[in-house]
Chain A
Amino acid sequence: EAQVTQNPRYLITVTGKKLTVTCSQNMNHEYMSWYRQDPGLGLRQIYYSMNVEVTDKGDVPEGYKVSRKEKRNFPLILESPSPNQTSLYFCASSLDITSYEQYFGPGTRLTVT
C-alpha cells in the first residue's frame, strides 16, 4: 500500500531534550516536506527536500533540522525543543515537484513541557 508513515504518533517531552520524528514513504517520491499545523495558523511548511541531499527552508524553519540521506526517509530533528514547538506535525511527499500533489502522513502530536 502506498503510504507515508510517521513515528511516533504522539510524543510528550521536556524542554531541551533532543528528539527526532521519523518520516518514510514507499512511493519513490523525490519531493518531501514537513509541516506544522496550529489552530488559527493553518499548515505552515518547516523544511522541504527536492531530492536526496537537497534540503531547503520553508516558512518556519527556526529550531528544526532535517536530513535527506535516502530517498524514502526525511527525519525531522528538534535539537533543543521548546514549548512553542508544541504542535501537530505532518510529513508529506510528492512525485512531481511541478504539480505538488502531496500525500500526507498521519501526523505526530508533539507536546513540549
Chain B
Amino acid sequence: NAGVTQTPKFQVLKTGQSMTLQCAQDMNHEYMSWYRQDPGMGLRLIHYSVGAGITDQGEVPNGYNVSRSTTEDFPLRLLSAAPSQTSVYFCASSSASGWGRNIQYFGAGTRLSVL
C-alpha cells in the first residue's frame, strides 16, 4: 500500500507565486489534514477535512486554501507565496470510524522554500 503520498518532495518559489501541494491517500480515509512543521514549534494544523466537500480551518489557515472533491485527494493551495510560508508541510489521513479514527497516518512531507 502506498498510504499517504505527497508531491512534490521539494519546491522553491519566489514571493508572490502560487502553487498546489498534492496529497493523495489510498486507504479510503474520510479524515485528512494538513500540517506545517517549523523549528521549535512542532506541527501546527492548517486545514482539515472530514469528508468530500467538507473542509474547515485549523490553527494557522491564513494564506492557504483547500478543497476536497474526492475522498482520495486533499490539495493545499498557496495563492501568493510569502517567505513566512517556508516550512515543511505534512499531509495526514485517518479513518472516521472505530478506534482507527484516532490514528493518523502521515505522508513523507513537502519541503517548501519561498525566496
A binds B: no
- Chain A interface (Cβ within 8 Å of chain B)? none
- Chain B interface (Cβ within 8 Å of chain A)? none
